[in-house]
Amino acid sequence: MNEDLLFNEAPGGPPRYSHLSNKPVQYLTVADRRGQVIGYVWANDEDDAAGWAVRKAGGDGAFNEGSVWAIKLHDAKARGIAPTAALAEMIQESDPTRSSHVVPGSLTEAPNADVVRRLADPI
């Protein structure tokens, strides 16, 4: 009862896009039903990278809803889809009647993923 628990990281796990890219990325703006921006989904094919950047000003609701967009990315990677193709799917499948959706016409390019992260959480 007094021994430390040992956790050994198991290799493998589900496939994931890289969360790092210093190259130009494409990104989408995601809003809630009221039209408030809750975050951004970004992607870069060259680095096989993609991620979700929550807008911290969106509060707990934005954080919680972000799991939907992160899961969409995980599912796309598991199906072998290129990161920017995953963004295209998100645009096509977006439904403004759901709790969150892609803002129409929001596909934009940024110099790198850090720019998108700073957009989500300005200092």
What is the per-residue pLDDT across 103-114, written as a single tens digit (0 to 9) for each?
Answer: 999 999 999 999
Please determine, for residue 44, whether its predicted confidence score (pLDDT) is greater than 70.
yes
Would you place residue 14 in the very low, low, confident or very high pLDDT band (cuts 50, 70, 90)?
confident
Would you place residue 98 in the very low, low, confident or very high pLDDT band (cuts 50, 70, 90)?
very high
**Which of helix, strand or coil describes residue 13?**
coil
Q: Indicate the pTM of the whole model.
A: 0.87
Which secondary structure element, helix H or strand E, spans residue 76, and what is its range?
helix 59-78
Would you place residue 102 in the very low, low, confident or very high pLDDT band (cuts 50, 70, 90)?
very high
- pLDDT, mean over the chain: 91
DSSP line for 14-73? S---BS---S-EEEEEEEETTS-EEEEEEEETTTTEEEEEE-GGGHHHHHHHHHHHHHHH
Report phi then psi at 19, rounded to 5.
-100, 10
